[in-house]
Amino acid sequence: MLIFSSSSFSYLCGKRAIILCSRFRSPSPPSLVLHSHNISLSRINRAVNSGAEMADLLNTSQQLGTEKYPRKSEKWIQYGTAGFRTKAEELTHVLYRMGILAAFRSMQKNAIIGVMITASHNDEPDNGVKLVDPHGEMLEASWEVIATKLANAKNEDLESTMSQILEENGITIGTNAMVYVGRDTRPSSPFLAQAAIDGIKSVQGCVTDFGVVSTPQLHFFVTCQNTNKAYGEPNEEGYFSKISSAFKALRGSNYDNGSYQHSLSLDGANGVGALKMKAFQEYLGNCIEVTIYNSGDGKLNYQCGADHVKVLQKPPQNMPLEVGTRAASLDGDADRLVYFYLDTQGNFKLLDGDKIATLVAGYIKKLIKESGVNLNVGLVQTAYANGSSTEYINNTLGVEVACVPTGVKYLHHRALEFDVGVYFEANGHGTVVFSSAAMETIKNAAADESLPAERIAAAKQLFLLMDVINQTVGDAISDLLLVETVLHAFGWGVAEWDAAYTDLPNRQMKVSVADRNVIQTADAERRCTDPPGLQSEIDSIVAKFNKGRSFVRPSGTEDVVRVYAEADSQANADKLAHEVALKVYELANGVGNVPSLPK
Ligand code: 16G
Ligand code: MG
């Protein structure tokens, strides 16, 4: 667990920050005032002393919202697993309002809150926004409900809705508020960021605009500042140097080791990850050679990126792939990572989040054993984890495994229950979290000269590993360096890594239905409780397939029901997925084309 210090607020307006603040009362939209020097928040955010002043402020905020960022349609929008996500043009009022909400949350928590503008792996015309809570974690569930309420308020009800939120949560305007804003590379992101900034300022919040950053970088910055910099410096320099120094120290002077070679190909999804990896190379020097493809000249996520590679199980476009070459793919906001290669027969082989999780958990377990510290390691997965991976974790790694519903917040929170919690979704999103006690234990063992040299050495490696890992959230670039560290330490090439276990062939399908919320699930989404009868139908279909497993769940990011199936052969996994998809279509009011057998 990361240490959070509420005294950190004195550090709010750090030297490198681009700070945007203003306090306005006029009905016309104010222009932004840029202050590049340190600002005392208490001078800017004078307390709102009377009810009348508060009403005046909220009314002005409503006017700006109505004039510049009005809600233009009655369409309902919901804060889902990864915040709000839809067509960019439907998001302007949402961004303005999320700016306001982030400032309120900051006032309530007396800590920095993050606003990240991204639609991750979605197509370029989409966009989205999610709020980052003080420890760098996803927004608390009860505030997701508040966010949905504010986003859907009628233009004329904005003031009363804000007022209600303040009252119900005991927030006083004028309490210091600071929001960190970051955005991905989408063309719509600068405008949406401006809407958020205007929203924050309309209720007297201060803003640090980090410009184009990856989602995990923003989480890192928020955590650094809120831990009074105990977690690192809240800027790119701090991020790059913390991770790269630890990585270089672990690598030592032998860049290759056994079958491990220090070069790989990276698909940057034409997104922010490509930009940041390029910048990272300056810090990494020549201890690892990363050749970046889809580095930003093409369309974001188009025929490339981690989601494309994982779902279609094929390489990205524009990337030459030779037999045995280790390759990896990031998603559009660089919080997902998958690896892949061509085997000696030229077959495409995917190493997804499950393979990353097992590799990393195995290595950490080994180091814990060698250092002699008494810490438990747990691994958290979702229903999407390949059955072979779960079997391998139970039978070979001997690590406790937990299954939770889809969505980073569920995995992250469950992982915090272990001394060392490794969590990964099969789609490549994941990280490792160390409890404060575990960090302390490792630090002490690394410095304990009374211990045998091998134990100290293992503890030192663990200690450095903690700095390679971005513990705040899944971070594709930090995860890539983590994987490279483990492969280097084991002396493994990609094929040796892949040989740990063989994935069961699997297939994912989407079914369009009239209302996806008619699908209700339980047992970490592994069983469907509604509509009645669907689960027993799934059970009878699954029973026909050797090693068959299938589940259905409503998507949190798209208006579809998702179907997952695995079986002993690809043809059977396809057939199983198709039969289950047909049942969903039949029993859950399918619309549009009847699902067809995957090709
Ligand atoms: C979001 C989630 C991701 C999840 C995916 C599922 C976060 C930050 N991201 O991208 O964890 O795997 O949604 O999408 O929580 P789905 O509900 O459409 O299948
Ligand atoms: Mg993403």
Q: What is the C-alpha to C-alpha distance for residues 35 and 33, in angstroms, rounded to an integer?
A: 6
State which of 184, 307, 338, 429 you would mutate to test the pocket of ligand 1, scoring each by most atoms of that ligand within 8 A of its C-beta. Answer: 429
Q: What are the tokens at 297?
A: 């000249």
Q: How much distance in Å is there from the Cα of 425 to the middle of ligand 1?
A: 9
Ligand 1 atom with least separation from CA of 409: 15
Residue with the two structure tokens 């971005």? 470
Q: In this structure, which ligand is nearest to the CA of 332?
A: 2
b/e per residue 481-517 (b: at least 16 CB within 10 A): bbbbbbbbbbebbbeebbebbebbbbbbbebbbeebe
Ligand 1 atom with least separation from CA of 138: 8
Contact call for residues 89 and 106 (beta carbons, < 8 A): no
Give ligand 1 pocket residues (Cβ under 6 A). 81-82, 120, 406-408, 425, 427, 429, 555-558, 562
Q: What is the C-alpha to C-alpha distance for residues 563 and 544, in angstroms, rounded to an integer?
A: 17
Q: In this structure, which ligand is nearest to the CA of 305?
A: 2
Q: Is the dihedral of CA 143, 4, 219, 16 positive or negative?
A: positive
Mean pLDDT by 10 residues, the chain (599 residues): 37 35 29 26 50 90 97 94 93 98 97 98 96 95 97 97 97 90 98 98 97 98 96 97 98 97 98 98 97 97 97 94 96 98 96 98 98 97 97 94 95 97 97 97 97 98 98 97 98 97 95 97 98 98 98 92 97 98 98 95
Contact call for residues 427 and 353 (beta carbons, < 8 A): yes
Q: How much distance in Å is there from the Cα of 120 to the middle of ligand 2?
A: 4
Helix extents (H) in 285-393:
306-312, 353-371, 387-392
Give the three-state DSSP class for 527: strand
Contact call for residues 370 and 454 (beta carbons, < 8 A): yes
Is the pTM higher than 0.85?
A: yes
Find residue 183's DSSP bridge partners.
117, 212
Q: How much distance in Å is there from the Cα of 88 to the middle of ligand 2?
A: 16
Cα angle value 17/150/168 (rounded, 5°) = 95
Give the three-state DSSP class for 25: coil
Q: How much distance in Å is there from the Cα of 211 to the middle of ligand 1?
A: 24
Distance of alpha carbon 525 from its chain centroid, rounded? 20
Residue 49 has what pLDDT?
63
Strands 178-183 and 206-212, how do they pair?
parallel
Contact call for residues 582 and 599 (beta carbons, < 8 A): no
Q: Which residues are catalytic?
A: 120
Q: What is the C-alpha to C-alpha distance for residues 475 and 472, in angstroms, rounded to an integer?
A: 9
For ligand 1, atom 12, the nearest C-alpha belongs to 407
Residue 557 has what pLDDT?
83
Contact call for residues 469 and 356 (beta carbons, < 8 A): no
Residue 464 has what pLDDT?
98
Give the number of other CB atoms < 10 A from CB of residue 70. Answer: 12
- In the DSSP assignment, the letter for residue 394 is I
Residue 474 has what pLDDT?
97
